[in-house]
Amino acid sequence: MTPKRRRLWLLLGSLGTLGIAAALVLTALNDNLVFFYSPTQVAEKNIGPDRRFRLGGLVEQGSVQKEGQLVRFTVTDTNKTVKVTYRGILPDLFREGQGVIAEGSLGPDGVFTAREILAKHDENYMPPEVAKALKESGKWKDAK
Amino acid sequence: MADLHFLANPARFRRFSQRVLPGLGFATALMLAVGIYMAFFVAPEDYQQGKTVRIMFVHVPSAWLSMGGYAMLSALGASLLVWRHPLAALMARAAAPVGASFAAVCLLTGSLWGRPMWGTYWVWDARLTSMLLLFFLYLGHIALSRAYDEPERGDRAAAILALIGVINLPIIKFSVDWWNTLHQPASITRLDAPAIHNSILVPLLWMAVSLLFLFVYLVLLRTETEIDRRRLENAEAAA
């Protein structure tokens, strides 16, 4: 009985220590584990021109302008916004009011030049009829 | 739990699994057939993602099973290291390649889903990276358990790896909440109501149960094989 009990405590102790170590490492690396910065974080961090990073947020309603291959739009986190230009083909899910992640850098004028655009979708799944009914009844999820 | 204790004896386990396996195999095939029919023909298309949402019916259960399989591997590792259960090591050897396969299916289907929806096959965000790590932990377990001439030493080394890797499971689960990621947050395993309409949710849960049956079937079958293999090796060593 005693050796079993000892092995069990040894195991639980090691796992506990390992858990704490992992938590500390992940907290320390927090800044490197985020995949993108929101417009608010971009403003807070004072990211200078020519540093490549990813910008993420929602495509602001009514902000998309297309001139051939060139697209201009605004990324918002409902607090701050960043203007973005992109030349290329957009993913299918790129829409106003939808999540987007752009990789590129800020120009001296504060406009973000994207080299790659990824669409981010939310966790809601439903058939089109349900989406339509929700929109008509005004119960549509608020933009997240 | 106490009722399952008799299974810790390999010989008794073998008799039990031989009785259960044919029926379980039949049930698995039937459930999978119904599940695949539902996934392709009954479930509606998604309002945004159209037909590609059907990838979810394989992707999400594979993710769950690969994580559940790893949790099981860790529990088996603990029962080997602490209680020296004779069957735990053999079952871990049986389960690791099955879990690794589900992890691979999750990564591959996710990649094929990501290309049309997100616009990329792969990004190094926290969710995708931690899931890839889970796959490598499985591979490490398989390799380590076969790395020694005496299989018992391999069993023990692999059990330690299984227990260390368990830290990764909460990281996978909560990666989408702790850090901003390209992958969206959880739709089902969350505190409020699921964010999936019932017409899509029911086929998804059905597929999850069917694939769980498949998982259990494969692990039982492979455990039988591992019991026979270990007996053969011991007999050869004795001869």
Between CA B67 and CA B135 the distance in angstroms is: 10
DSSP letter, residue B119: S
Contact assignment for B167 to A92 by CB distance below 8 Å: no
pLDDT tens-digit readout, B145-172:
999 988 899 999 999 999 999 999 999 9
Q: Which of B54, B111, B188, B197 to mutate to test the interface with A (most CBs of A within 10 A)?
A: B197
Between CA B93 and CA A48 the distance in angstroms is: 52
Comparing CB atoms, the residue among B47, B126, B197 nearest residue A33 is B126
Instruction: Say how many C-beta atoms besides its own lie within 10 A of residue B128's C-beta.
Output: 21
Residue A2: pLDDT over 50: yes
Residues of chain A contacting B120 with CB distance shorter than 8 Å: 116, 118
Residue of chain B whose alpha carbon sits nearest to that of A122: B184
Q: What is the pLDDT of residue B6?
A: 56
pLDDT bin (cut points 50, 70, 90) of residue B196 is very high
- Asked if A32 is an interface residue toward chain B (Cβ–Cβ < 8 A), one would say no
A35-137 is classed in which CATH architecture? Beta Barrel (2.40)
Treating both helix axes as pointing N-terminal to C-terminal, what angle do B168-178 and B126-145 enclose, rounded to 10 degrees?
170
Residues B52 and B113 sit within 8 Å (Cβ to Cβ): yes
- Asked if B197 is an interface residue toward chain A (Cβ–Cβ < 8 A), one would say yes
- In this prediction, residues A117-141 reach a mean pLDDT of 85
Residue scoring higher pLDDT (B85 or B34) = B34
Between CA B174 and CA B178 the distance in angstroms is: 6
Residue A77: pLDDT over 70: yes
Residues A114 and A104 sit within 8 Å (Cβ to Cβ): yes
pLDDT tens-digit readout, A87-122:
988 888 888 888 999 999 998 888 999 999 999 988
Between CA B111 and CA A79 the distance in angstroms is: 32
Residues A42 and A74 sit within 8 Å (Cβ to Cβ): no
- Asked if B202 is an interface residue toward chain A (Cβ–Cβ < 8 A), one would say no
Q: What is the pLDDT of residue A17?
A: 92
Q: Which of A11, A89, A125 to mutate to test the interface with B (most CBs of B within 10 A)?
A: A125
Nearest alpha carbon to residue B67 among B198, B175, B200: B175
pLDDT tens-digit readout, B204-227:
999 999 999 999 999 999 999 999
Between CA B167 and CA B146 the distance in angstroms is: 23
Q: What is the pLDDT of residue B22?
A: 95
Comparing CB atoms, the residue among B179, B180, B195 nearest residue A125 is B195
Reading the block at residue B216, the tokens are 């259990």
Residue A140: pLDDT over 90: no
pLDDT bin (cut points 50, 70, 90) of residue A28 is confident
DSSP letter, residue B39: I
| B89 backbone dihedrals φ, ψ, rounded to 5° | -65, -40
Query: Å from B230 to nearest chain A CA?
Result: 25
Q: What is the pLDDT of residue A143?
A: 38
- Which residue has 């939310």 as its token pair? A122
Q: What is the pLDDT of residue A144?
A: 36
Please give the radius of gyration of chain A, using alpha carbons only, rounded to the nearest integer: 22
Between CA B10 and CA B19 the distance in angstroms is: 14
* Bridge partners of residue A99, in order along the sequence: A58, A120
- Asked if B180 is an interface residue toward chain A (Cβ–Cβ < 8 A), one would say yes
> Mean pLDDT in chain B?
92
Residue B234: pLDDT over 90: no
Residue B5: pLDDT over 70: no
- Asked if B218 is an interface residue toward chain A (Cβ–Cβ < 8 A), one would say no
A121 labelled ligand-binding: yes
Contact assignment for B118 to A91 by CB distance below 8 Å: yes
Q: What is the pLDDT of residue A30?
A: 81
Instruction: Say how many C-beta atoms besides its own lie within 10 A of residue B46's C-beta.
Output: 23
User: Percent of chain A at pLDDT above 90?
Assistant: 44
pLDDT tens-digit readout, B59-74:
999 999 999 999 999 9
Query: Å from A120 to nearest chain B CA?
Result: 6
Nearest alpha carbon to residue A99 among A47, A59, A50: A59
Comparing CB atoms, the residue among B81, B186, B197 nearest residue A126 is B197
Q: Which amino acid is at B138?
A: Y
pLDDT bin (cut points 50, 70, 90) of residue B2 is very low
Q: What is the pLDDT of residue A141?
A: 61
Q: Which of B60, B76, B118 to mutate to test the interface with A (most CBs of A within 10 A)?
A: B118
Domain ranges of chain B: 20-49+57-178+196-238
pLDDT bin (cut points 50, 70, 90) of residue A129 is confident
Residue scoring higher pLDDT (B109 or A28) = B109
Domain ranges of chain A: 1-33, 35-137
Q: What is the pLDDT of residue B111?
A: 96
Reading the block at residue B167, the tokens are 């830290």
- Report the first-to-last Cα separation within chain A, whole angstroms: 55
What is this structure's pTM? 0.91
